[in-house]
Amino acid sequence: MITIKSPREIEDMAKSGAILAGMHVGLRNVIKPGISSWDIEKFGKKYIEEHDAIPEQIGFEGYKYATCVSINDEICHGFPRKNVILKDGDLIKVDTVVNYHGAMSDSCWSYVVGKSTPEIDKLMTVTKKALYLGIDQAIVGNRIGDIGAAIQHYTEDEMGYGDVREFIGHGIGPTMHESPSVPHYGEAGHGVRLREGMTITIEPMINMGTWQAEMDDPNGWTARTADGSLSCQYEHTIAITAKGPKILTSQDPDIDKAYLL
């Protein structure tokens, strides 16, 4: 079922999103060569709890951690690990969900550890642009397919990357995952029509190589690129409003000025 949020509920979700965004901003000073991916988990969990919120992923379908920390060819749902030490050039995706007094927000962000490469920089730039191309389609009267078509055309047709099919965005609030599904590929003019008050995530996962994923990790969660290529992801929680898409997990009020209605 698709739930329509009131202005008050959307503002509450924005408060939740501000906590999540603050965690991501803080990680910029945490992620560096020599730390473990478990250090990211510790920081994220502590930050959320210190801001009177709940790391909602803990316990979701048996998941044990506040964050997903996916590295290099790991597309998503990577476990934070004490024995995985980050090094220069690692591409890290950190994903989490915040529950602030019942208001949900969901955001993933990508980070490069230490010294980057031109290839990684390009992948990150393309993936972030794809996110915003999708957000631009999240307007009243458009359809879900308009979001996915914009992302797929740019990332695959124009840039030659792989646009992951196996994992997609979703509705959010009052629960973590709800209708509608929000693929990052598809056909314009198709799918559910967007209505004022809907809240969704847009979260393209873009691979340097094939779009296909392998999901045979022994932990039962982590997905990797089928060809071992790097994968990148950016995600915002969005509210559909009469004035346009509103980003509820913005990290930068200057960059996102047009989306902070």
Q: Sort strands 74-76 and 54-55 into parallel, antiparallel or unpaired.
A: unpaired
Give the integer Cα–Cα distance in Å for 182 and 160: 22
235 is in an annotated binding site: yes
Domain with residues 7-259, CATH architecture: Alpha-Beta Complex (3.90)
Q: Share the mean pLDDT of the chain.
A: 97
Give the integer Cα–Cα distance in Å for 217 and 117: 28
Asked if residue 1 has pLDDT above 90, the reply is no
256 is in an annotated binding site: no
pLDDT of residue 40: 98
Q: Looking at this protein, which amino acid is placed at residue 48?
A: I
77 is in an annotated binding site: yes
In the chain, domain spans: 7-259
95 is in an annotated binding site: yes
pLDDT by residue (tens digit) across 67-115? Answer: 999 999 999 999 999 999 999 999 999 999 999 999 999 999 999 999 9
Asked if residue 116 has pLDDT above 90, the reply is yes
pLDDT of residue 261: 78
- Tokens 């992951």 appear where? 164
203 is in an annotated binding site: yes
pLDDT by residue (tens digit) across 207-222? Answer: 999 999 999 999 999 9
Which of 111, 205, 227 lies closest to 155 in space, CA to CA? Answer: 205
Q: pTM for this one?
A: 0.97
39 is in an annotated binding site: no
51 is in an annotated binding site: no
